[in-house]
Amino acid sequence: MKGKRYLCFCMALLFVCLFLVNTPSPVQGAPFYHGKREEKKIALTFDDGPHPRYTPEILRLLEQYGIKATFFVVGENMEIYAEAAKALIASPHEIGNHTYTHPHMSALDEKALREEIEKTEEIIRALGGTSSGLFRPPEGKKSAVHTALLEEMAYKTVLWSIDTRDWSHNAPSVICHAVLSAVQGGDILLFHDFVVPPNTTITALEQLIPQLLKSGYQFVTVSELLEG
Ligand SMILES: [Zn+2]
């Protein structure tokens, strides 16, 4: 009888351990860097847009391959580039919140961050979009104060596991190498749809997407990735 109880205890402990290993962000309010590693699912993410030229080009490319991505938009750019914003909202992609003015996070108190987030959310809603409940802080910066607020506002903070540094005009071959040498199931890839010209992101994506598909990767939104 004692042995049976011991076995039950060990089994329960094993299940708890497996659960913890499989949970990408076990700490309450902690940012997500990636999803579960078991399946070959990855999420492309695009920050800082929309851009009047590059966002529609990326949308066309994603449509060509029938794949979905997540765009972390800047509210101010949604207002300035309304046509690109409408096209993005009408697309099947997921929209995350990347603040209204893309400020330095260290300069924001709780009230200012709340305003940045809510203003962007209003713009997304006014264009007919819905909130994904995802937030990405500018430059990936975060603090304990912000974590508490985001938790209160029921946002998931999403960072990334692969940084392509495409904003720095890395050559497409460098971007491709950064991805292909490191990619694994569950990865969240950081790209930018708003960059100062010249844009190397789109040429890199034209090469990367077919190679990743050929390697068996499935492209999903961040929410789908985190749901498992
Ligand atoms: Zn940004």
Give the start-to-end residue ranges of the domains of the chain: 32-227
- Cα 121 to ligand 1 centre (Å): 16
Give mean pLDDT in consecutive 10-residue pieces for the chain, a chain of 228 residues. Answer: 53 47 57 96 98 98 98 98 98 98 91 97 96 93 84 95 95 97 98 96 98 98 94
Which residues fall inside 5 Å of ion ligand 1, going by CB? 47-48, 138
- Cα 144 to ligand 1 centre (Å): 20
The pTM is what? 0.88
On the CB side of 63, CA atoms within 13 Å amount to 11
CA–CA distance, 221 with 224 (Å, rounded to integer): 5
Note the pLDDT of residue 12. Answer: 53
Known catalytic residues? 47, 192
- Cα 18 to ligand 1 centre (Å): 34
Query: Helix, strand, or coil here: 69?
Result: coil
Residue type (1 letter), 42: I
Cα-based torsion angle of the residue sequence 33, 34, 37, 43 in order, rounded to the nearest 10 degrees: -160
Helix (H) or strand (E) holding 75: helix 75-80
CA–CA distance, 42 with 219 (Å, rounded to integer): 5
Tokens at 131, concatenated: 């909130």
- Cα 198 to ligand 1 centre (Å): 17
Assign a CATH topology to domain 32-227: TIM Barrel (3.20.20)
Which residue carries 């697309």 as its tokens? 91
Note the pLDDT of residue 30. Answer: 86
Contact in structure between 46 and 58 (CB atoms under 8 Å): yes
Contact in structure between 163 and 135 (CB atoms under 8 Å): no
Residues whose CB falls within 8 Å of the CB of residue 161, separated by 6 or more in sequence, listed in order: 33, 34, 186, 187, 188, 189
CA–CA distance, 1 with 126 (Å, rounded to integer): 64
- Cα 95 to ligand 1 centre (Å): 14
- CA 182 to centroid of chain Cα atoms: 17
Helix, strand, coil abundance in the chain, percent, nearest 5: 50, 15, 35
Contact in structure between 101 and 116 (CB atoms under 8 Å): yes
Note the pLDDT of residue 5. Answer: 60
Number of helical (H) and strand (E) elements in the chain, helices listed first: 9, 8
